[in-house]
Structure 1
Amino acid sequence: MDFFYNAPERVVDEVIDGLARIAPVKRSAETHGVRVVVDRHWNKQRVAVLSGGGAGHEPSHAGFVGKGMLAGAIAGDIFTSPSVEAVLAAIRATCGEAGCLLVIKNYTGDRLNFGLAAERATREGYRVRSVIVADDIALDEATQKRGLAGTVLVHKIAGHYAAEGADLDTVADMAQRVCDGLCSIGLSLSSCTLPGHAIDRRAAELGLGIHNEPGVREVDPVDAGDAMQLVVAPLLEAINERGSGDAPLIVMLNNLGSCATQEMGVLFNELLARLPAERVARVVAPAALMTSLDMHGFSVTLLPAEDDFVSALESPVAAIAWPGLYSARENESFDVELSAASNEPAGARDADREQRIERVVQRLIESKDELDALDAKAGDGDTGTTFAAGARAIRDALQNEVLSSGDDARMAYEIGEILARDMGGSSGVLLSILCTATGAALDEGSNWSEALMRGIERMQHYGGAAQGDRTLLDALIPATEALGEGNDLGAAATAARDGADATRSMTHAKAGRSAYVPENALRDLTDPGAEAVARVWEQLADG
């Protein structure tokens, strides 16, 4: 299976059922394809704000049902407008003497079905007004502009005024003002896949809608900043053309479906970095607001930050999907207090040894991609990155002349401190323990092989691994033992290489992240930590 669905034809109802278990809503009984979700506590005394459309945009629209936002939402099949009968049923379920407002996205199916439902409801005696959201700026003036994530801001602002007891005309006029001010555009790295359909991804596109329709053009952003710039530039141009000038803005970043939380964090930072700080009055917390199934993309919405808009957006709601409004600010930073030893001047230095260390750390830095690729086959793919981070920190200490390269014990202590601070991961801590314990043994008069064995013993004590457990110890222990037997660095390097190669036949790891990996994933695969250690010894032997 590629997605966590049951029967494709049941997806929409199962999504609504799951939402109704925790949200302040109740749903209509399943009948004739009608799916209506209403506020569980609705009493028809105020203007009912209703919205909806095809499913596949979750949490829109049902996630925004609750006091302070929507009185109800109507869901069609995926990317298919709900029927006239479904919209009419929602009006009957929520509309009292105060009337109701229909918030309609600018798609033909929605306009026709919601529009006919409004006409029929009017004949039945209901007071109905509607607004059409067309916030997409990607299309030229000759093309019908689509309703995008800006629709959610209409829900929130109209819902606030309805909850405050405003009459229908006031609520509708306020909603229209929001519609008139909205500007949105989306960018996606790939299209979405409908439940039950084969995966068929398109390339990156700018200016796409929320129903898997193609964008206005293909793009090829090199990174998140480049992608965000492709979106921000036309947005600012569009909103300035509407007469906003340098007016402050409400900013909203919407996840179109499958952007990871980390991606959204990076994109949000890039968004705020590319907008003039004085123009960012408020931000909606970045979230999935109006998605397009699993589309790997985002959209940005701008709205002039008029005082009544801001007040409405800041008001509390019961709807569980509203992420909240915040004030953006510049980052604050502070200096951390490092261990005193890291600020001490270096002791004795040895130029020849520093050159050798420089070559070793450079070998690790150059091995980053290969070690990461090796680790990615059975782990999280960061072994090379981790070792390279430690290597760069040691190289910086050499270049800054703060490594006591001529004092064995002190150098070992200092490298231990560097690795603990800058290398990260369990490897950084374990190697720091190795260096610290080795330094203590050297201080007591041990030679290098004896001191390293002391360090290895402490690594095993805290880390719990042993030789044969498919870790970096499988290269480190044989090399250290070779030194202890009176052999030179060449023999130690050979022993380290043999130990690393031997991990290819170890299909059952007992320690480290490989311990959680199935045996078939480890077969004929060298442990990346052991490979890194073998390369260190080989470089030491080469001089």
Structure 2
Amino acid sequence: MHHFYNAPEHLVSELLEGLAMTASVTLSDHRDARIVMRADWQPDREGRQQVALISGGGSGHEPAHAGFVGQGMLTAAVAGDVFASPGVEAILAGIRACCGDAGCLLIIKNYTGDRLNFGLAAERAREEGYRVETVIVADDMALPETPQPRGLAGTLLVHKMAGYCANRGDDLEAVHQAARHMIERVRSMGMALSSATLPGQEASSRKTPELGLGIHNEPGVRQVTPENADDAVSQVLEALGRPDSGPWVVLLNNLGSCSPQEMQVIKRACLDQLGRANVALLLGPAPLMTSLDMHGFSITLAPADDTILEALSAPVQAPAWPTAQKVHDIETFSPRFSQQPPAGEGRHDEAREQLIARLATTLKKSEKALDELDAKVGDGDAGATFAAGANAVLKALDEGRLSTGEDALLASELGHLFATAMGGSSGVLLSILMTSAAQELEESAGWPRALQAGIERMQHYGGAEQGDRTMLDALIPAIETLANGNSTDAAAQAARAGAEETGRMRKAGAGRSSLVPEQALDGVIDPGAEAVARLFETLAGRDAKD
């Protein structure tokens, strides 16, 4: 399964039904005529005063054409099979359903099947007494010498212009003339990295980027090798005649499978290369006239005179029409970053400096052992991470940047140091621990109570609990032991017991170990818990392991 389709032969009916479940449209109930019509439209009511607009063609270009049915745009759309024109009878049935005394305009893309089927339907409708006019959209610039350029995404601008004029009550002749005037002024060009995959068929073998692909999988005018998005946009604009003056209306169309990130990068390149001041109105980027899953985009340009701007900016009730956007220069502001607090300006305590240096040296010497533990259950860098923090502490001590004689200030300085010197989540968690502890120490809490408050914040943000096979399994019992008035030796024993217990845990609740199979955890002490145990053993005056 490569696409979320059911049976390929049911695709068109099912996609139209999906649209009709939320949009204000009604569907024809005959399988031989897939017609989507405005739910509020009656030919003997609205159709008496307002020109009906009908478009359509092969499916596979969604949201075109049914997504543009609604007040202010199309009255109805007639859908054929994928990349195949609807039949004459279906189109004629659509005319009969929509056309009132004000008449009807058929908007046809310049493909042989569409021209012939819509054209014959128009002739037969006239024979039946309906007032019908037709226009043929040929906005493709890929083959400038061809006498019959294809109709591409520029068709949507014709829909919008004609819909605007019809909605304000212009007669059939005026709506017809406005549509023809727009057709004469619009031009489109596309580029794709790969062609489309038809439902039920194998993916196309055409994987080379092409300029000027048709929306029915026709080959492009030439193969291209764009270096990046900027170059791709440059080549498309070059094929459009490299317009260097405006103002322009730009319609930026996703041909099917470009990601939102790609389309924003393409938008940026397009606006920069055209010149933001030369773009009066932007439509998209959005999938508007697609080609199934084609990985490409198209750019449509039209001159932005007052009439066109007014028509394209007018509100509509068609579900797929994008909001017209004004283009402006990028506005910036200067964010405020955290200022490093003055370091080491508080009192200093020589005995505490020596203790901190011993603790840091323990972690530094433990780098290899901790890395070896982490290699069994994680990504093998726990020792290096703790060693980086230890080295930063030792350097800060040498430079006198730790206020070792003032508890709250020392905790705050350590919090900043861990955040900047240690990588990964361990550095952030230890920074949270010390930053939160500093706030408690400012309120005259002792170190055990302050560290308990810091652990609570670690758990809040980190999501781990005791028993989840993390450093908390050693840290929590050790700090609780101190908070209960017991000795550092008892705290060291509690930390070591907690660390050893992680080696018997076969399931981790947090961290990278949670992604490791249970059998790989058996007998392996969590490296964070081991680091904590070694720190408390040093604090208690015991010799640290290598």
Q: TM-score, normalised by structure 1?
A: 0.72
C-alpha displacement of 1:89: 1.2
The answer to whether the 8 A contact 2:233-2:270 is kept is no
CA distance in 1 between partners of 2:520 and 2:143 (Å): 51
Aligned to 1:293: 292
Q: Which residue of 2 aligns with 1:489?
A: none
SS of 1:326's partner is: coil
| 1:451–1:163 CA distance, 2 compared to 1 (3 A) | closer
Question: Structure 1 CA distance, aligned partners of 2:76 and 2:445?
Answer: 79
Q: Distance in 1 between matches of 2:421 and 2:198?
A: 45
Instruction: Specify the alignment match of 1:15 in structure 2.
Output: 15
Structure 2 counterpart of 1:434: 433
Q: What amino acid is the match of 1:87?
A: I
Evaluate the alpha carbon distance shift between residue 247 and residue 88 of structure 1 in structure 2; reply closer, same or farther with a 3 A threshold: same
1:263 is displaced (CA, Å) by 3.3
Residues 1:107 and 2:116 aligned together = no
Residues 186 and 231, structure 1, Cα contact 8 Å, conserved in 2 = no
In structure 2, list runs of 5 or more residues that go unmatched.
Answer: 347-352, 368-374, 393-398, 480-487, 533-543
1:44 pairs with 2:47: yes
Specify the code of the residue in structure 2 equivalent to 1:263. E
Report the CA distance shift for 1:470/1:88 in structure 2 as closer, same or farther (over 3 A). farther
Q: CA deviation at 1:478?
A: 13
Counterpart of 1:399 in structure 2 is: none
Cα distance in 1, alignment partners of residues 210 and 474 from structure 2: 50
1:160 Cα deviation from its structure 2 partner:
0.6
- What is the DSSP-based 3-state SS (H/G/I as helix, E as strand, rest coil) of the residue aligned with 2:177? helix
Distance 1:441 1:166, change over 3 A: closer
- Work out the CA distance in 2 between the residues paired with 1:269 and 1:418: 39
Q: C-alpha distance in 1, partners of 2:100/2:289? A: 28
Larger Rg: 2
TM-score by length of 2: 0.71
Pair 99,279 (structure 1): closer, same or farther in 2 beyond 3 Å: same
The equivalent position to 2:153 in structure 1, one of 149, 153, 166, is: 149
Q: How does 1:2-151 map to 2 (within 5 A)?
A: 2-31=2-31, 33-42=32-41, 43-45=46-48, 46-142=50-146, 144-151=148-155
After superposition, the Cα gap between the structure-2 partners of 1:233 and 1:192, relative to the gap in structure 1 and judged at 3 Å, is closer
Identity of aligned pairs, percent? 51
Q: Within 5 Å, which residues of 2 pair with 1:505-520?
A: 506=507, 509=509, 511=510
* Matched residue SS, 2:240: helix
How has the CA–CA distance of structure 1 residues 106 and 337 changed in structure 2, closer, same or farther, with 3 Å as cutoff? same
Instruction: Give the conservation status (yes or no) of the 8 Å contact 1:183–1:302.
Output: yes
In the TM superposition, what are the counterparts of 1:485-500 in structure 2 within 5 Å? none
Q: Which residue in the other structure is 2:246 paired with?
A: 247
- Native 8 Å contact 2:53 2:104 kept in 1: yes
2:229 alignment counterpart: 227
Q: Is the 8 A contact 1:404 1:411 kept in 2?
A: no
Aligned length: 483
Q: Partners of 1:209 and 1:91 in 2: how far apart?
A: 28
* C-alpha displacement of 1:177: 1.9
Which residue in the other structure is 1:326 paired with?
325
Q: How does 1:149-188 map to 2 (within 5 A)?
A: 149-188=153-192
Q: Is the 8 A contact 1:183 1:235 kept in 2?
A: no
Structure 1 residues 467 and 275: alpha-carbon distance in aligned structure 2, compared to 1, 3 A threshold: farther
Distance 1:34 1:445, change over 3 A: closer
Q: Distance in 1 between matches of 2:274 and 2:417?
A: 38
Question: Quick one: distance in 1 between partners of 2:409 and 2:175?
Answer: 73
In the other structure, the counterpart of 2:370 is none
Separation in 2 of the partners of 1:269 and 1:245? Answer: 16
Closer, same or farther: CA 318–343 of 1 in aligned 2, 3 Å: same
Name 1:379's counterpart in structure 2.
Answer: none
Task: Give the Cα separation in 2 of the matches to 1:422 and 1:60.
Answer: 54
SS at match of 2:151: coil
| Aligned 8 A contact 1:232 1:274 in 2 | yes
- Indicate if the aligned counterparts of 1:187 and 1:204 stay in contact, CA closer than 8 A: no
Structure 1: where are the runs of 5+ without partners?
A: 364-370, 376-383, 396-402, 487-491
Given that residues 246 and 279 in structure 2 are in contact (C-alpha distance below 8 angstroms), is that contact kept between their aligned partners in structure 1?
no
TM superposition shift of 1:36: 0.9
